[in-house]
Amino acid sequence: MDKTNRPIVLEAKGLTKRFPGVLANDNINLKLHQGEILALLGENGAGKSTLMNMLYGLYTPTEGEIWIKGEKVELSNPGEAIDRGVGMVHQHFQLVPPMTVAENVMLGSEITSGGGRLNMRQAIRNVRELSEQYGLAVDPTAVIEDLPVGTQQRVEIIKALYRHADILILDEPTAVLTPQEANELFRIMRDLTAQNVSIIFITHKLKEVLAVADRIGVLRSGQMVGTAMPEDSTETSLAEMMVGRNVILRVEKSASKPGQPVLQIQNLHVHDDRGHAAVEGVDLEVFAGEILGIAGVEGNGQRELVEALTGLRHIDAGKIRIDGQDTTHFSPRQITELGVAHIPEDREKHGLVMPYTLSDNMVLNRYFKAPYAKGLIMHHDKIDENGKVLVKEYDVRPPNVHALAQNLSGGNKQKVIVAREFSSPTKLLVAAQPTRGIDVGSIEFIHKEIVAQRDHGVAVLVVSAELDEVLGLADRVAVMFDGRVVKILPIAEATRERVGLLMAGSDA
Amino acid sequence: MTTQTDSKAKPSRLMAIWRAASIPLAAVILALLVGAVILLISGANPIAAYSALAKGAFGSTAAFGRTLEKATPLILGGLAVAFAFKGGLFNIGGQGQLLFGAIVAAGVGFGIDGLPFIIHMPLALLMGSLAGALYGAIPGALKTYTGAHEVITTIMLNFIAINFTDWLADGPWKDEGIVARTPAIAEAAAIPTWGNIPAGFFLAILAAVATWYLLYRTTTGYEIRTVGLNSNAAKYAGIKVSYTVILTMAISGFLAGMGGAIETLGVVGRYQPGFNAGLGFDGITIALLARTNPLGVIPAALLVGAMQAGSSQMQFDAHVPFQIIDVIQALILFFVSADMIVRWIVRVQPDEGEQVTLSTSWG
Amino acid sequence: MTTAAMAKTKSRGDYVRIVGLIFGGIVLLGIIYGYITNPVTTTAVLASTLRQSTPLVLGALCGLIGERSGIINIGIEGQMLMAAFIAFLANVYTGNLFVAVLAGLATGAVLGGFLAFMSVTLKMDQIIGGTVINILALGLTSFFYQTGLTTQGKLQAIALGPLAEIPLIGPVFFDNPPITYATLILVMVVHYVLFYTRWGLRTRAVGEHPSAADTVGINVYKMRYINVIIGGSIAGLAGAYLTLEAVGSFERAMTNGRGFVALAVMIFGKYTPFGAWGAALLFGFAVALQTQLQFSGRLEIPHQFIGMLPYVLTIVVLAGFVGRTRVPAAVGKPYEKE
């Protein structure tokens, strides 16, 4: 709905932010009208979060002005933004896990009774009132770390409303929600705007933007390249604005020709770091020459499943066979030796050693093999040679094998891992969140490489929280919910609605 | 963004060494300056003090020999801490490991008769070093299997080692007479001194080179460094982290134990309590001064060793209590650590001066 | 998380509690038996327990206040030592015990500020920062200490009237010098502030999830500075205790590892004041009991092994408990505003 004739509650004029060596936001102009839902669209690295951090007082603009409700402001900390009615719901929740909802909501604006003593009873009452007023059901006495993700997000929203925010900034709010939960969030957003709350909503998901926004702003490489109305836009037109060229949204691939089963999982039980059951009886098979995609909201056991498969996590019960061999209790090295490639979910935690050079990272899990080493002695010249070849083949930038991994962009870091994993004979590829947080160019590259592996007869298992990625790559789709595979569908039957329902635990 | 070609990748060796050494050098100079201020406050003459110090460290071949002698256990203590740092561990137990190395070396030295030098000395040296290795492996195992942080356990083990070696020297291994100490070691077990130069110093240099080689040219070294930098990635790489942690502490203890063994076999000639207190902390200063580089430990140890060797001359000539050396060492430690961190923060910014339109994920 | 798993986690906590209660019961029975058979010795042992535990409790309080706000303090030993020395000097040169105690508090606070500076502003590795304090303290106190300085007396016990007459409990709890009393009060005060006040809530938030606190306008750096400085002054009180109440003079390196044992006490006490108090009493009791048995000739152990006891106990406690304690999540990591 076009609300551009309403009063302007927030405006950015020529907003610019420079970091040493990087221009994150370049001369951005933005207007938010009262009761409007403005969607800010941009791919990873476009500068959305930087912009929001400036509007919330976490960053100081290098140049430009911010006007809130007709007044020019200079925000030096979030407290000042909060005072003017700006509230932010962060992508990574800013909640203290071992504390209760009420404690989290009142943190920083605590209610005290004489001498600093906390008045918990009043705080609990206030939270209850707010949750009723805005239809956000939460239990004020619950402990955050016991709450499901959707509920935690509601706590974040209440936190903002508690401080009388009437301008809300939501940063990638649907990253951790099922399609149904996302719809529920959209309902809440519309209810809020009906009560004259104005919302800026940051995302890189085109479908959502078309579903809920009143107006769309597109950021690309730190610049605002234009605004659009959802009535006049399509996913393709928005994608082109986001990326600046023709974008093919579907991954091009031919039909799969599946062969023998390479990965066979039987009745797998694995528990997580806190001792709770994470994988509760999973049966799965992946065949050579096919891509099996695992869809599901993060936190339903996918991470533990992948770690169990690759030897990084202890298995409580069940069996895993790779290429006919029982690998249930194999170490990571033994599994790699069988021809298993693993693109880990957290590239900086598991996949790379940041202070190491590219060439050292390229042999991270094969440093002990010929020709890189003989017995105890390592041959650094051979390691460098290997690095040079791979850096060229996979277009890693900068193409300098002595560069340190920590100085590369996210996309290039991922390419280093992909180069390493794909450079030896592979029977099974396990890719977890393979394109998380990287630019579109690298995403396309990696998707192409994954399909190429499949076409070479490799069995591919892709786990992704991005439903579109799974639907784009997979030949068969398995949905994980609550530690189990609730259903496996051939791609033809895997519609968004059906998969979304399965992701939320219903039987579709 | 300009891309670099490979040939520009490696800066010249000399530039690299200069850049690496400038921080420690600055730290030492600053510490000496602050030390001078403290001396002035306590009523002493810093110039007289420092020149006496230099005389006592380098003024004659005898002095120079003393410096090398002092530097020897410092090299090994520094190696022990630096090596553990590379593996991601903080070994403050150098003192305890050194004590065990010293007393076991003494035990092998006096307890066995009739062996020729070729066997006796290396045997005593080896057994002492292994004793240190075992004592170092204990906190390593504790960390691996129970999660107990090695900073506290190694310090506790230091106190335990002091008590235990005291008891050995005062009890079952006591020499005849009143003084609590072990009997002297056999001639054949002693490490010789050539003129004024202790041969043990060259053993220490050898150990430093061997350590460097182990860390940077072998698969074991690669594994240790990887665990030290990112134990999750190490697991992913197939490295057995628990085994590596224990091995790292064992090697670190081996080095410290060797330091103690060389002291016994080359300098003191027996074990007596009150032996070289504080070496654990000295080792930390030296390791950080050397920026945890095994080869850098040598000049760092020579510097501190010179200060320690010259301190008695300074006390004699300028009437300054030798503990000022402890203060200066602590100051060096502070300046080195602070500098390192500040430099690290600054270095994180990319080298390019031009502005680059965003292509990394800031958003 | 399934309900079955939840039940399992809960019962594990219950199990530990039951074991703790049984153990406490045994100790209590032992004390009663000891009192009946030999009242003088038992009272002496218990009084000694309280005395041994005082610096440990104070050191643990210092450590836990810092850790709750996210800063690891390995330098408690150095803070205690330096404060002990300064308090001693103040006593020698002014003869005023009260001034001397204040001097100790101030010293601890200054060193706390130094640690905060290294950890929060310079963003140094906190363990290295703490080690720097330890080395500096050892070096400076050794350098400036000259033998032969005499103190002007030490802090004497103050009996609290009729309360001190109660058998067993009286002489142990109600006939103590001031710092020992202060310690007991501090345990309660710290507990109250940490868990019932706005300051405590913010401190805990800063230690668990500093960016959450930052985004609601709390100054993470300031909170950490203040907490570490307050903790430092408590460590300073422990140092003052050593020279002004316990011993009456100074000796090189007289803290003897207590600062590190205090860390084990803190962990064992699960980062809570009352837990630390209980853990410190346990340590103190073990040492007092062992010394008593040694004197009474019941145990033929070389004195060096008695000396080892607190350190061995520390390792045992760490090995058994550190993995099972929930540490504030952001502890040890310097906070970077992004």
Q: For residue range A300-351, what is the model confidence (pLDDT) as tens digits?
A: 899 999 999 999 999 999 999 999 899 999 999 999 999 999 999 999 889 9
Query: Does residue C161 register a pLDDT over 70?
Result: no
Question: Picking from A210-224, B157-171, C35-49, C102-116, which range would have the lowest pLDDT averaged per residue?
Answer: C35-49
Chain B hits for A403, CB-CB cut-off 8 Å, are 4, 9
Tens-digit pLDDT profile for residues A409-430? 888 899 999 999 998 889 999 9
Would the CB atoms of C124 and B155 count as touching at under 8 Å?
no
Q: How confident is the model at residue B326 (pLDDT cuts 50, 70, 90)?
A: confident
**Exposed, middle or buried by CB within 10 Å (0-12, 13-18, 19+), for A83?**
middle
Substitution target in C315, C324, C326, C338 with the highest count of B β-carbons within 10 Å is: C315
C201 touches A at CB < 8 Å: yes
Helix or strand or coil: residue B313?
Answer: helix
Burial of C259 (0-12, 13-18, 19+ CB in 10 A): buried
C-alpha to C-alpha distances, C171 to C47, C158, C175, C186, C293, nearest whole angstrom: 7, 10, 5, 20, 21
Closest CA in chain C for residue A54: C338
Nearest C-alpha of chain B: how many angstroms from A410? 6
Question: Residues C247-260: pLDDT tens digits?
Answer: 778 888 888 888 98
Interface residue of A368, A379, A395, A435 to substitute, partner B, most B CBs within 10 Å: A368
The answer to whether B334 faces chain C, any CB pair under 8 Å, is: yes
Interface contact flag, A22 B220, Cβ < 8 Å = no
Is B34 part of the contact surface with chain C (CB cutoff 8 Å)? no
C324 to chain B, closest Cα gap in Å: 9
A221 in contact with chain B, both atoms CB, cutoff 8 A: yes
Give the pLDDT score at C204.
Answer: 95
Q: Measuring CA to CA, which residue among A75, A25, A53 is closest to residue A200?
A: A53
Task: Note the pLDDT tens digit of each residue in A58-79.
Answer: 888 999 999 998 889 988 888 8
Which residue bears the tokens 């152990």? Answer: C301
A91-95 mean pLDDT: 87
Chain B residues near residue C319 by CB distance under 8 angstroms: 142, 146, 148, 153
What is the pLDDT at residue B359?
23
The angle at the Cα of B232, spanning B230 to B234, to the nearest 5 degrees, equals 70
The nearest CA of chain C is from the CA of A422 a distance in Å of 35
**Angstrom distances, CA of residue B85 to CA of A152, B80, B221:** 40, 9, 13
Closest by CA to A42, choosing from B357, B358, B363, is B363
Distance from CA of A482 to the nearest CA of B (A): 26
**Given this model, what pLDDT does residue C20 score?**
66
Q: Is A97 on the interface with B (CB under 8 A)?
A: no
Per-residue pLDDT at B347 exceeds 60: no
Q: How far is A227 from chain B (nearest CA, A)?
A: 19
**Percentage of residues in chain C having pLDDT higher than 90:** 34
Q: Using a CB–CB cutoff of 8 Å, tell me whether A413 touches chain B.
A: no
Taken in order A66, A71, A77, A78, the sign of the CA dihedral is: negative
Residue C209 touches partner A, C-beta closer than 8 Å? yes
For residue C98, what are the domain limits? 38-145+166-324
Residues of B in contact with A381 (CB under 8 A): none
What is the spatial distance between Cα B72 and Cα B298, in angstroms, rounded to a whole number? 9
- Residue C85, domain member (yes or no): yes
Is C15 within the bounds of a domain? no
Portion of chain B with pLDDT greater than 70, in percent: 88
Rounded-to-integer distance, Cα C154 and Cα C176, Å? 13
- B167 touching C, CB under 8 A? yes
B141 has a chain C CB within 8 A of its CB: no
Which of A17, A19, A94 should we substitute to test contact with C (largest number of C Cβ atoms within 10 Å)? A94
Subunits in contact with chain C (3 or more CB pairs closer than 8 Å): A, B
Q: Which of residues 295-314 of A touch C (CB under 8 A)?
A: none
Give contacts of A398 with chain B, Cβ < 8 Å.
1, 3-4
SS3 call for A294: strand
What is the model's pLDDT at position B343? Answer: 62
Shortest distance, CA B325 to any CA of chain C (angstroms): 8
**Cα separation, B190 vs B203, whole angstroms:** 13
**Secondary structure class of C312 (helix, strand, coil):** helix
Which residues in chain A touch residue B86, judged by CB atoms under 8 angstroms apart?
none
Q: What pLDDT does C8 receive?
A: 43
- Report the residue of chain B nearest A337, measured CA to CA: B238
Range with the lowest mean pLDDT among A88-102, A304-318, B307-321, C78-92?
A: B307-321
Q: For C172-179, which contacts have Cβ atoms below 8 Å and span 24 or more sequence positions? A: C172/C43, C172/C46, C172/C47, C172/C50, C173/C50, C176/C50, C177/C245, C178/C245, C179/C54, C179/C101, C179/C155, C179/C237, C179/C240, C179/C241, C179/C244, C179/C245
- The Cα A104–Cα A153 span in angstroms is 12
Q: What's the CATH number where C256 sits?
A: 1.10.3470
- C-beta of residue A374 within 8 angstroms of C-beta of residue A460: no
Mean pLDDT (chain B, rounded): 83
C160 in a domain, yes or no? no
Question: Across chain A, what does the average pLDDT equal?
Answer: 88
Residues of chain C in contact with residue B154, where contact means CB-CB under 8 angstroms, are: none
Question: Which of C56, C143, C317 to probe by mutation at the B interface, max B CB count within 10 Å?
Answer: C143
Instruction: Flag whether C5 is in a domain.
Output: no
Size of interface A-B (CB pairs under 8 A): 140
Name the residue among A19, A222, A367 with its Cβ closest to that of B219. A367
Q: Chains contacting A with at least 3 CB pairs below 8 Å?
A: B, C
Our measurement of the distance from residue B199's CA atom to the centroid of its chain's CA atoms, rounded to an integer in Å, reads 18
* pLDDT score at B355: 25
Please give the distance of CA A52 from its chain centroid, rounded to a whole number: 18
Range with the poorest average pLDDT among B82-91, B284-293, C201-210:
B284-293
- Whether C216 sits inside 8 A of A109 (CB atoms) is yes
Beta-carbon separation of C257 and B171 below 8 A: no
pLDDT digits 0-9 by tens, C1-21? 344 444 444 445 556 667 667
Average pLDDT, chain C: 83
Listed by number, the residues of chain C in 211-240 with a beta carbon closer than 8 Å to a beta carbon of chain A are 211-218
Confidence of residue B43 (pLDDT cuts 50, 70, 90): confident
On chain C, the residues whose CB falls within 8 A of the CB of A83 are none
The answer to whether residue B262 scores a pLDDT higher than 60 is: yes
Q: Do B148 and C305 touch (CB under 8 A)?
A: no
Across the interface, do A94 and C205 touch by the CB < 8 Å criterion? Answer: no
The domain over range A8-243 is classified in CATH as 2.40.128.20: no
Is A114 part of the contact surface with chain C (CB cutoff 8 Å)? Answer: no
From first CA to last CA, the distance across chain B in angstroms is 19
How confident is the model over A439-496, as pLDDT tens digits?
777 888 899 999 999 999 999 999 998 888 898 899 999 999 889 999 999 988 888 8
Q: Percentages helix, strand, coil for chain A, rounded to the nearest 5?
A: 35, 25, 35
CB contact under 8 A, B338 and C124: yes
What pLDDT band is residue A247 in, cutting at 50, 70 and 90?
low
Domain ranges of chain B: 42-344
- B235: helix, coil or strand? helix
Q: Is the pLDDT of residue B174 over 50?
A: yes
Closest-CA distance, A496 to chain C, in angstroms, reads: 27
Contact C163, C174 (CB under 8 A): yes
Is A259-339+425-508 in CATH node 3.30.800.10?
A: no
Verify whether the Cβ–Cβ distance A47 to B363 is below 8 Å: yes
Cβ <8 Å between C135 and B147? no
A18: nearest CA partner in chain B: B355
Chain B / chain C CB contacts < 8 angstroms: 118
Domain assignment present for C150: no
Q: Report the residue from B3, B4, B220 with minimal CB separation from A376.
A: B220
Task: Please give the residue that has the higher pLDDT: either B121 or B355.
Answer: B121
Q: Which two structure tokens, joined as six digits, stand for B351?
A: 């080298």
Asked if residues A33 and A6 have their Cβ atoms less than 8 Å apart, the reply is: yes
Which residue, chain included where needed, has tokens 């809130």? A68
Q: Which of B148-157, C108-117, C314-323 has the lowest mean pLDDT?
A: C314-323
Q: Is the per-residue pLDDT at C326 higher than 90?
A: no
Domain layout of chain A by residue ranges = 8-243, 259-339+425-508, 349-423
* Count of beta carbons in the 10 Å neighbourhood of residue C106: 17
The share of chain A scoring above pLDDT 90, in percent, equals 42
**CA distance linking residue A194 with residue A187, whole number of Å:** 11
- pTM for the structure as a whole: 0.82
Q: How confident is the model at residue B227 (pLDDT cuts 50, 70, 90)?
A: very high
Total domains in the fold of chain C = 1
Query: Chain C within 8 Å of A88 (Cβ-Cβ)?
Result: yes
Question: What pLDDT score was predicted for residue C324?
Answer: 62
Scanning every residue of chain A, which has its alpha carbon at the shortest distance from the alpha carbon of B349?
A: A20
Find out whether C92 and C250 touch, Cβ atoms under 8 Å. Answer: no
| CATH topology for the B42-344 domain | ABC transporter involved in vitamin B12 uptake, BtuC (1.10.3470)
H helices within chain C, ranges in order? Answer: 3-37, 39-68, 76-94, 97-116, 126-144, 169-173, 178-196, 198-208, 210-215, 220-240, 258-268, 273-295, 303-321
CA separation for the pair C311, C307 (Å, rounded): 8
Q: Do B235 and A367 touch (CB under 8 A)?
A: no
Q: Per the omega criterion (within 30 degrees of 0), is the bond before B294 cis?
A: no
Q: Which residue of C has its CA nearest to A53?
A: C338
pLDDT at B349: 37
Instruction: Report pLDDT for B5.
Output: 39
Task: For residue B142, give the chain C residue with the closest CA.
Answer: C319
pLDDT, mean of residues B182-197:
84
